[in-house]
Structure 1
Amino acid sequence: MTEVNFQRHRRLRRTAGIRQMVRETTLHTDDLIYPIFVKEQGTDKTEVPSMPGVYQFPIDQVNEEVDEVVNLGIPSIILFGVPNHKDHEGTSAFDEKGIVQRATRQIKDRHPELTVIADTCLCQFTDHGHCGVIEDGEILNDPSLDLLAKTAVSQAQAGADIIAPSNMMDGFVAAIRQGLDEAGFKNIPIMSYAVKYASAFYGPFRDAAHSSPSFGDRKTYQMDPANRSEALREAQSDIEEGADFLIVKPALSYLDILRELKDRHPYPLVAYNVSGEYSMIKGAAIQGWIDEQAVVMEKLTSMKRAGADLILTYFAKDVAKWLNQ
């Protein structure tokens, strides 16, 4: 055979040791943010039917979950509240004795070194399930900003290390930044859900947070999944308004957006590996159709390779265990 000159790329794949030596993207436990749902009702933890292995925890049982997170070396959590009381303006979202505020104080007292992120939205706390004030069937933007700022301040007062507003109202970062600053919390960063699509992947979360809208949908304030340039404008606005982190949600179908934001902005970038992405893998794994560990690690690595600095994922505990093996 005549000798052909070509590149031998397989040389760098020949052994496991060589493959590890040249690996470009590596997951670490420090990359992980673990979501925890804390509820007011009931005395026992409740598994979310559409999310196997994910639970709502009553506040007197949340310590055990947080202890495990800390022992696994996961450095941060994000709290979602499931309240007893819901009303038209979501007042329990900014009640100093609200479920997120109480859980934050309890967790920070027990684990002051753990970074506690507070999800800042109204949908779990309103009786209509939308992320803002409703008038004549319309979600009002500007009146909602005042309530979101009040919620952020109450969470910071409870000890939250980072505020993560997820509502997608125009100007929400600016309003929250102003509210925090005026309340004496200039040093509390904002992890903005800068790019949040009106996605079909959120269904299981709404089971977990009891946050399904009672009418309509969220397409007037969350983004059209077909749009790319709009995502860049949204992120730019949040940066100009004072965001310290940028979240892309969901992650898996929007890796192109992650990459573009990372190339454009020198800000910490967070990929939200959302509930629907979690449940699809869990469901397939339960059926024996896939290798759960291999699929999860490949998926999360793709998010980091696309530009994510941090990954918010319901798989965080599993990933930490696999990494620690």
Structure 2
Amino acid sequence: MSFPIVRHRRLRQSAGIRNMVRETVLNIEDLVQPIFVTYGTGVKTEISSMPGVFHFSLDTLKEEVDEIAALGIPAVLLFGIPESKDSVGTSGFVDNGIVQEATRLIKEWYPDLLVIADTCLCEFTDHGHCGMVHTFERDGHVHGDVMNDESLELLARTAVSQAKAGADIIAPSNMMDGFVQAIRTALDEEGFQHIPIMSYSVKYASAFYGPFREAADSAPQFGDRKTYQMDPANVREALREAESDVLEGADMLMVKPALAYLDIVRLLRDQFDLPLVAYNVSGEYSMVKAAANQGWINEQAIVMEMLTGMKRAGADIIITYFSKDAARWIRNR
């Protein structure tokens, strides 16, 4: 049958009907709000390239967490900016590290708010890479090789220290080969068999991370991350990366970035039955904010369409700097 018997507009003629037949719904429970914590006192400093996103010291953190909890957002993703850095990222796995201290405070204030700990070394190393580096000079320039196997022990130590501090979920973002297995083994050996791993399974070497590198002070001091993060041109490689993480014990899979990689989100949704996370990254956030500040777009409409598209592609969970705004808009819809 076809027109005039079939009329697709019948199901679009009123808000009530459109709501009734809507296939994809974005909920507050789908959202995760990233937070950047740092040392000092009285710090609430806006990140210049990410309007509305701030660095918080531990004494100002509660204001942000209160707002997140009041909005009903179920989880936060913690990033830390340490007082000092070294070649192996020691500040990332010490018991009194900034992420560990922030975790303890948040779990004291809101025991039911999920704390997801980003497990990487780039914020804590003086070279800005996500693992141990062998450096050498050539032609008057510093070069370096990121050492895979030697980095795994440090990443595992970081995960264990975060779990001991009270993190509910470990989210390793380093893209070293074997990182899920190393972290799963270390967590289990320390009695944290119950702590799930949200793996950054498919993380591309993307230009969309630019503002984050200012926020986390994590830009590489030499070279780039293309030897361990994925080539944006590759699709089949994403399946190999995700399958490895599944076999090594990942509990959730992530695609990062989200907006330019919705085909990858759908690919993983069709191939694997684990919960799937999409990371709406800093560059995606900042582009929308910049255009909205110029009055060129309707920010609320754009953000809600973008996040709904990520859910439609197959994401169960969305990490986004828009979480607080989206939660307010969802409440009022």
Which TM-score applies when normalising by structure 1? 0.98
Which range moves more in the overlay, 69-78 or 40-49? 40-49
Of 318, 321, 330, 1:314 maps to 321
Q: Deviation digits for residues 226-248 of structure 1, max 9, x if unmatched?
A: 00000010000000000000010
Structure 2: distance between partners of 1:125 and 1:48: 19
Deviation at 1:175, TM superposition (A): 0.2
SS in 1 for 2:96: coil
Residues 94, 150 of structure 1: 8 Å contact kept: yes
Deviation at 1:321, TM superposition (A): 0.6
Structure 1: distance between partners of 2:113 and 2:229: 30
Deviation at 1:138, TM superposition (A): 0.4
Deviation at 1:5, TM superposition (A): 4.5
Q: Verify: 1:62 aligned to 2:61, yes or no.
A: yes
Q: Verify: 1:200 aligned to 2:207, yes or no.
A: yes
SS in 2 for 1:324: helix
Deviation at 1:6, TM superposition (A): 5.7
What pairs with 1:125-274 in structure 2 (closer than 5 Å)?
Answer: 125-136=124-135, 137-274=144-281
Matched with 1:284 is: 291
Structure 2: distance between partners of 1:194 and 1:218: 15
Deviation at 1:19, TM superposition (A): 0.6
SS in 2 for 1:60: coil
Name the amino acid aligned to 2:65.
Answer: V
Relative to structure 1, the CA distance from residue 9 to residue 49 in structure 2 (aligned partners, 3 Å threshold; closer, same or farther) is: same
Question: Aligned residues: percent identity?
Answer: 68
Which TM-score applies when normalising by structure 2? 0.96
Deviation at 1:279, TM superposition (A): 0.1
Structure 1: distance between partners of 2:104 and 2:126: 26
Structure 2: distance between partners of 1:69 and 1:319: 11
In the alignment of these two chains, the number of paired residues is: 323
Structure 1: distance between partners of 2:315 and 2:71: 21
Matched with 2:85 is: 86
Residues 41, 58 of structure 2: 8 Å contact kept: no
Deviation at 1:295, TM superposition (A): 0.1
Structure 2: distance between partners of 1:99 and 1:4: 63
Structure 1: distance between partners of 2:29 and 2:3: 46
Residues 41, 83 of structure 1: 8 Å contact kept: no
Matched with 1:75 is: 74
Q: Which runs of 4+ in 1 moved over 2 A?
A: 3-7
